[in-house]
Amino acid sequence: MPNFDLTGKTVLVTGATSGIGRAVCSGVLAAGARIVVTGSNQGRLAGLSTDLGVERCQALRVDLTDAGERDALVKAAPALDGIVHGAGAIELAPAAFLSEEKLRSLQSLNYEAPVLLTSALAKGRKLNAEASVVLIASVAGLVGAKGHVLYAGSKGALMAAGRALALELAPRRIRVNSLAPGMVRAGMADQAQGALGDAAMEAHEKEYPLGFGTPDDVAAASLFLLSPAARWITGTTLVCDGGFTAR
């Protein structure tokens, strides 16, 4: 029988206050694990831990783009059986209007933070044997879309790094996989809607055979990758996009 149970495990969720992160937290708790949740905004983080109930939930405020704060997180974190790297940002701009500053800030949060945090947790012996690392990437890292140069580069880099990490951590049966969602009704989709307009978003949804997704859809896929049921899956990308990239 495949085993989807996370009882007795501890899972770190970054970007826990996001639409997707929050759904992952609820799912992980329901599957029986304890969680460590992080976000950079203290108020939002406090609200989240109140909602989730403090018993199996430890909240740590951290700006993941700050090396010192990442170190503090590694020190404070318990030994982990899973990580869902959900923190991320998007910046839509045409190629002629890219700035070095925007490129660096996006790269810093979407690529450097999850890679360096995973590295530091591995070095700090905070990843238990058989742990599962889930990198939340995006279909934007797999197929081109106008205005997405910076975001695509950051998520593509993340998926590539995930494959190499998977090979290095395999001796301890630690698995590393990416999850590439398409458009999900959560914070980032609202931002896209502001930049593209209501009509363009409506037209975009028509390109999704199953329509846009929900945070729970992404949470379900994350839960699978975290669970013992996925014990033979590492170094890959699970596309979760309602058929958007199937064409």
* Complex with ligand NAP: residue 6 or 24, whichever CB lies closer: 24
Minimum separation from the CB atom of position 102 to another protein (A): 10
Q: How far apart are CA 136 and CA 27, in angstroms?
A: 16
Chain residues that interact with another protein, rule: CB under 8 A: 92-94, 96-97, 146-147, 193-200
97 binds, among another protein, ligand NAP, none (CB under 5 to 8 A by kind): another protein
Identity of the residue, 131 or 182, whose beta carbon is nearer to ligand NAP in the bound complex: 182
Of 38, 106, 151, 219, the active-site residue reads: 151
Long-range contacts of 15-18 (CB under 8 A, 24+ apart): 15/39, 15/85, 15/86, 15/87, 15/88, 15/136, 16/45, 16/48, 16/86, 17/41, 17/44, 17/45, 17/47, 17/48, 18/86, 18/87, 18/88, 18/186, 18/187, 18/188
61-70, long-range: CB < 8 A, 24+ apart = 62/38, 64/14, 64/38, 64/40, 64/109, 64/113, 64/114, 64/117, 65/105, 65/108, 65/109, 65/112, 65/113, 67/116, 70/113, 70/116, 70/117, 70/120
41 binds, among ligand NAP, another protein, none (CB under 5 to 8 A by kind): ligand NAP
Cα dihedral 19→190→181→101 (10° resolution) = -100
208: annotated active-site residue: no
Q: Which is nearer to ligand NAP, 2 or 243 (CB)?
A: 243
Nearer to ligand NAP, 211 or 228 (CB): 211
| Least distance from another protein to the Cβ atom of residue 189, Å | 13
**21 interface partner picked from another protein, ligand NAP, none, CB below 5 to 8 A per type:** ligand NAP
For residue 146, the partner it binds in another protein, ligand NAP, none, with Cβ less than 5 to 8 A by kind, is another protein
**Of 1 and 96, which has the nearer Cβ to another protein?**
96
Cβ 110 to another protein, closest distance in Å?
A: 19
Residues near ligand NAP (CB under 6 A): 15, 17-21, 39-41, 44, 62-65, 86-89, 109, 136, 138, 181, 183-184, 186-189
Report phi then psi at 94, rounded to 5: -70, 155
200 binds, among ligand NAP, another protein, none (CB under 5 to 8 A by kind): another protein
- Smallest separation (angstroms) from another protein to the CB of 111: 22
Shortest reach from residue 138's CB to another protein, in Å: 17
* Alpha carbon distances (Å) from 36 to 52, 122, 165, 203: 11, 17, 22, 38
Annotated active-site positions, please?
151
